[in-house]
Structure formats: C-alpha cells, structure tokens
Amino acid sequence: MNIDVKNEKLKSWIREVAELCTPDDIYLCNGSKDEYRDMIDRLIKAGIAIPLEKRPNSYLFRSDPSDVARVEDNTYISTSSQAEAGPTNNWIAPDGLKKTMLDLYRGCMKGRTMYVIPFSMGPIGSPISKIGIEISDSPYVVVNMHIMTRVSSRVLELLGTDGDFIPCLHSVGAPLAPGQKDTKWPCAPIEKKYISHFPEENLIWSYGSGYGGNALLGKKCLALRIASAMARREGWMAEHMLILRLTSPEGKQYHIAAAFPSACGKTNLAMMQPSIAGWKCECIGDDIAWMKIGPDGRLYAINPENGFFGVAPGTSYSTNPMAMDTLKENVIFTNCALTDSGDVWWEGMDGDEPAHAIDWKGKDWTPESPADAAHANARFTAPAAQCPVICKDWEKPEGLPIDILIFGGRRTGVVPLVYEAFDWDHGVFLGATAASETTAANIGAVGNLRRDPFAMKPFCGYNMGDYFQHWFNMGEKLGSKAPRIFYVNWFRKSQDGKFLWPGFSDNSRVLKWMCERIDGRAGAQKTPIGLIPDEGSLDLGGLNISHENMKELMSINPEEWKAEIPDIEKHFSTFGNRLPEKLKKQFSEFIERLR
C-alpha cells in the first residue's frame, strides 16, 4: 500500500479495510477540480454519467430501479443495549451485526478501486466542524461527496498524526470476478443492504446501496445519526432543519431553523423569495442544522453541508426559482428524465411536457406513457455556493443566532396553517408529537400518517425518549434566550381535496407573523393547541384567498384533536420509562385544555 497518510489511526484503518475488502486499487482523494473532472471523464467513458448539452459541467445518472431511496428498514443503530437505540430504531447488537457485515465486506471490492475520501462537515477548521473519512468503492459517491461536503487534502493536514475522525465505510456490495462486466449501477439486493451506525464508537458501516443518504455518509449517517448522539453527550443539537435569514423592510435580521420530514419542502422554504414587499430571504442550509449555545447564551446554528441534495420533481420557476437558478451548471442529476435536446426533465418542471424523452429507467417515454418520466425521489446535487440567494454569512464558523424554530409536516387535515407554542416545554411537546404523511424519500408506502418527532424519526442516533429529554435540558440552559417555537402545516386541504394555502413564496406571510410575534407586534389567541394569529394579524395583502378558505385553514376542531389523543398515547407509550416527566405533564395539560 503506497498511500501517503501521516495519521496513525487512518493509516491502520485503510490497511485493515484494504485487507478485508481486497480492492484492485486504492486512491486517496484530494478534492481538487482536476480530480472531479477525471472521475467524471471516466464515468462518461463507461456510459454511467450522461453529459447534459444544455447545462455546462452537469451530468445525469440512472440508478438501479431497486436502489432509489433511503432504506429505513435496513438502517440500524447498533448500541450495546437495545434500550439505548430505543423504539424508533432498528437494533442489532454490535458483535452480531459486525460479524454479518464483515462476511459481506470480505472481498466485496474485488475488481474495483477503493476511494479514500477525507471530508469536513462544516467549514474546514471551524470549532463546530467534524472530520470524516469515507472509504467507498463507488466513483458516483466520490463526485457527490465533492459537492455535498468539503473534500480536501487540507482535512488530512488538519488531522496531523494523531487527530481524530469519524470512519465511514461504504461498499456498493457488488464484487467483480475476473473479466466480469460491471453494471452501470452496481448494488446488492435489499436483503443484503445494511446502513449501520455504532454511535458508542462514532463509526458508520454501509453496505449494498449506492443511493443518497445510504451512500453519501456525511449527510444522514454522520451529520444526523452519529452527530445527534455526540450532541447529546456534548450538550449541543444536531437537527434535521433548514436554516434561513429573513430581513424585514427596516433591516432587522431574523434567523429561522425549521424541521420537516424528507420531501416536505425544506429546500423550497430555505430558498423562498417573499411575496410581501420589502422582506428579503436568504438561504443558509436546506437539510441539517448543528446548533450550539454561544458565549452570549443564544443558540447558534451552522449548516454542516456544502451542497443541496434536493428532490427534483415539483421543482420549477413557480415553486422554487432560486433552486432552478442554482441548477444551471455544475450539477449531478440522478433518476431524472433526459430530453431529446440534451437536458433533464421531471414532472412539475416549467413549460410543456416534452413530446419524447428517455425516462429514469433509460426507456422511451411520451406523455402517453403510464408511468412518470422521472422517479418521484429523483435528485439534484448542487453546490450551495452557487445558489443566487445563499447568505453571505452561511460559512461563518461560529454560526448564526437562531430566533425561531419551526416544526411541521404534511397533513391533509386537522392541523391549521400556523400556531405558536405557549413556551419552550410546550414547543417540545409539539415537536415530539409531530406527524406527517410519508413520502418517496424512503422505500415504502407513500401517504401514510406517521409520528415523526422533530422530523428525526429516521435520523436520531439514540433513544428518542432521551432525545426529548435533551430538548428539555437545552431549553433549561437557554432560559429566556431560547428561540420561540412554532408549528406549521402548508398542506391542509379543503373538503374537495384542494390545497387551501398557496404555499411557496406566500409562506413568507407566516414567517413575517412569527417575526412580529417576537417583536410583540402581532396578536394571538389562545386555543387548546397553542396560539393562533389574531384575525387580521396575518398579512394577506394582495393574496387572493377567500374568507371561507382562510377560516377553514385556521380552524381547530376539538373533536378531531381529541381523536389524536389515543395515537399520541400509543406513540408515547413506546418510550416506556424513558418518556420525560415534562412530556407527560404537557400531554395531560393538552388533554385538559381539550375538555
């Protein structure tokens, strides 16, 4: 092995993995533009990356039809006791899981190159940042990591001889016999896919999938599952939240972090351009927030990522113009359709449907075709820095002070457009009971209602009962400096099945109300579920929405809310004695208010 690394732990880990996985070659990544170019060239030659004539330096990839989203049923939090992983995580004891996976890893990189990818989550060298090293046999992973994280040889310099890092081992799980022809998207069958986390030793092992969060291990695996466990130990927070800055016409800045489940519009809200005059919105991050209490006692957030891995279908100049402008060049597209003019296309894009395209499976497609041209979880990978509304302070090492936290989800009924928590502890209750209809971001049924506390159900790296307690503890530490907490639902529908709220840029109206609440300028009424806007306090100027629709949108039906009680009870009961006393208290007060 002639790989030049000085860090002792890294040196022996690379040697160990090479002996286990027996790749043909080992390549140490440096993160340079030339390296990216070189990898892409090879992927083009192999017919795996399709260059897009219409978008400079942009490429389309098609995954195997079985490997199109995160696999939550195959995702494990492997702690010494099952109680530590808790009821929301799949668990296998570390010894057993490692034995199974070692058998899979043995010889798994035969015929392939093993890439060693040094990366930083957060600006390189920032005190909040964490260093990871991903070892992967997927060149697709290398080029995506180049965009989504900071891949650089500076990371190795920073590590020195004895610095620590989070090892992230990944294999597509498809060794090649001598002379065997490779497929364009190698992966293993579902029963051999394992996305495993060992939070007690800050270790990630992923096997069998090449897609998104299963394979780009800096994202959900490191920055959420492992980081959430570290954050609890160290007294900070790793959350599934977008971060944005809203500036009022008077120039006052508000920083907002919002948690919604995957594919519920985080990217759209993060890049939203207000429809109300004089207000300005800038993007800081679209998926993950790491938050720490600063020297002044306030909560400061950084976006640990370097790019956006966003859902393509539904993205258009009317839903998210800033994303569309981010996607003009230097983008990787996965599972989108290919037009005859050499561009990507997906359902919901502006303009007419193409008369003919190649669908995400590589087959001819016309508007008459029964299936969609792009997969519902088709994605773009784009550098955050090229977003036209990226905030100039998005890489500030100390982060930005958060004023407002938002929870929400996709609910066709029951939940009004917006309400405010009475206080922090009530806000924790709102986060802990958040529910949403499932989306295509996970392999599984779409549209089922599930409790997704803090939008972290698939991403919390320890017992979620303890996670709730951690939120209460943070509230105690923050005291009067704590951000205010709100709950939103952009997705409520009328009796005849139409969305009641226009959403997108008009969501700025809801954010404005939150800012005015903080400044004591907007009134609210107490209801059993929280504080809702006083009539007239939500700025609806210039919006064409009927009084009836608005009433329905904001309505709170006590009977419908009472019907939630048994489900919340069932949800809470899964946590047994790990359910915080404060949450029990919040729940009984909620029931009391509904009486």
Structure tokens at 403: 């004023």
Determine the residue type at 234.
Answer: E
For the CB of residue 594, give the shortest distance to ligand SAT in the complex, in Å. Answer: 33
Answer for which of 50, 52, 67, 70 binds ligand SAT (CB under 6 A) is 70
Residue 214 in the binding site for Mn ion (CB under 5 A): no
Residue 586 in the binding site for Mn ion (CB under 5 A): no
63 contacts: CB under 8 Å, gap ≥ 6: 185, 187, 210, 211, 334, 335
Residue 198 in the binding site for ligand SAT (CB under 6 A): no
For the CB of residue 219, give the shortest distance to Mn ion in the complex, in Å. Answer: 8
Residue linked to tokens 């009961």: 573
Q: Which does 213 bind (CB under 5 to 8 A by kind): ligand SAT, Mn ion, none?
A: ligand SAT
For the CB of residue 459, give the shortest distance to ligand SAT in the complex, in Å. Answer: 8
Q: Which does 441 bind (CB under 5 to 8 A by kind): ligand SAT, Mn ion, none?
A: ligand SAT
Q: How far is 540 from 255, CA to CA, in rounded Å?
A: 22
- Nearest Cα neighbor of 209 from 225, 191, 188, 224 is 188
Nearer to ligand SAT, 262 or 586 (CB): 262
Residue linked to tokens 């929870």: 407
Answer whether 3's CB lies under 8 Å from 159's CB. no
For the CB of residue 70, give the shortest distance to ligand SAT in the complex, in Å. Answer: 5
For ligand SAT, the binding residues in 293-312 under the rule CB under 6 A are 309
Nearer to ligand SAT, 7 or 262 (CB): 262
Nearer to ligand SAT, 457 or 582 (CB): 457
Q: How far is 374 from 322, CA to CA, in rounded Å?
A: 21
Residue 213 in the binding site for ligand SAT (CB under 6 A): yes
Site string for Mn ion, 251-290 (x = CB under 5 A): -----------x------------------------x---
Residue 228 in the binding site for Mn ion (CB under 5 A): no
For the CB of residue 402, give the shortest distance to ligand SAT in the complex, in Å. Answer: 21
- Nearest Cα neighbor of 134 from 125, 143, 122, 123 is 143
Nearer to Mn ion, 63 or 586 (CB): 63
* Residues β-bridged to residue 195: 75, 206
570 contacts: CB under 8 Å, gap ≥ 6: none
For the CB of residue 216, give the shortest distance to ligand SAT in the complex, in Å. Answer: 6
Candidate segments 51-59, 211-219, 296-304, 429-437, binder of ligand SAT by CB under 6 A: 211-219
Determine the residue type at 295.
Answer: P
Q: How far is 257 from 237, CA to CA, in rounded Å?
A: 12
Answer for which of 219, 255, 509, 582 binds ligand SAT (CB under 6 A) is 219
Which residue in 264, 283, 387, 515 is the catalytic one?
Answer: 264
Q: Which does 309 bind (CB under 5 to 8 A by kind): Mn ion, ligand SAT, none?
A: ligand SAT
Nearer to ligand SAT, 435 or 441 (CB): 441
Answer whether 568's CB lies under 8 Å from 449's CB. no
Nearer to ligand SAT, 115 or 380 (CB): 380
Catalytic residue check, 264: yes
* Residues β-bridged to residue 26: 114
For the CB of residue 528, give the shortest distance to Mn ion in the complex, in Å. Answer: 31
State the CB neighbour count (10 A cutoff) for residue 583: 21
Considering CB under 6 A, how many residues would be counted as binding ligand SAT? 8
Nearer to ligand SAT, 144 or 433 (CB): 144
In 208-341 the beta strands, taken as DSSP E runs, fall at 237-239, 241-247, 253-259, 280-285, 289-293, 299-302, 307-311, 332-334, 337-339
b/e 462-489 (16+ beta carbons within 10 angstroms → b): bbbbbbbbbbbebbeebeeebbbbbbbb
Q: Shortest Cβ contact with ligand SAT: which residue?
A: 213
Residue 212 in the binding site for ligand SAT (CB under 6 A): yes
Structure tokens at 308: 């956006």
For ligand SAT, the binding residues in 5-64 under the rule CB under 6 A are none
395 contacts: CB under 8 Å, gap ≥ 6: 123
Candidate segments 171-179, 213-221, 334-342, 355-363, binder of ligand SAT by CB under 6 A: 213-221
Residue linked to tokens 């402008």: 325
Nearer to ligand SAT, 199 or 218 (CB): 218
Nearer to ligand SAT, 259 or 430 (CB): 259
Q: Which does 571 bind (CB under 5 to 8 A by kind): ligand SAT, Mn ion, none?
A: none
Q: Which does 219 bind (CB under 5 to 8 A by kind): ligand SAT, Mn ion, none?
A: ligand SAT
Residue by residue, DSSP assigns 29-79 as ----HHHHHHHHHHHHHTTSSEE-TTSTT-EEE---TT--SB-GGGEEE--
Q: How far is 43 from 142, CA to CA, in rounded Å?
A: 11
For ligand SAT, the binding residues in 424-453 under the rule CB under 6 A are 441
Answer for which of 209, 262, 381, 508 binds ligand SAT (CB under 6 A) is 262
Structure tokens at 195: 């996305």
Residue 220 in the binding site for ligand SAT (CB under 6 A): yes
Between the alpha carbon of residue 4 and those of residues 8, 22, 157, 158, the distances in Å are 11, 19, 12, 15
b/e 342-362 (16+ beta carbons within 10 angstroms → b): ebbbbbebeeeebeebbbbee
For the CB of residue 266, give the shortest distance to Mn ion in the complex, in Å. Answer: 7
Nearer to Mn ion, 262 or 330 (CB): 262
For the annotated catalytic residues, the residue numbers are 264
Contacting positions for Mn ion (CB under 5 A): 262, 287
Contacting positions for ligand SAT (CB under 6 A): 70, 212-213, 219-220, 262, 309, 441
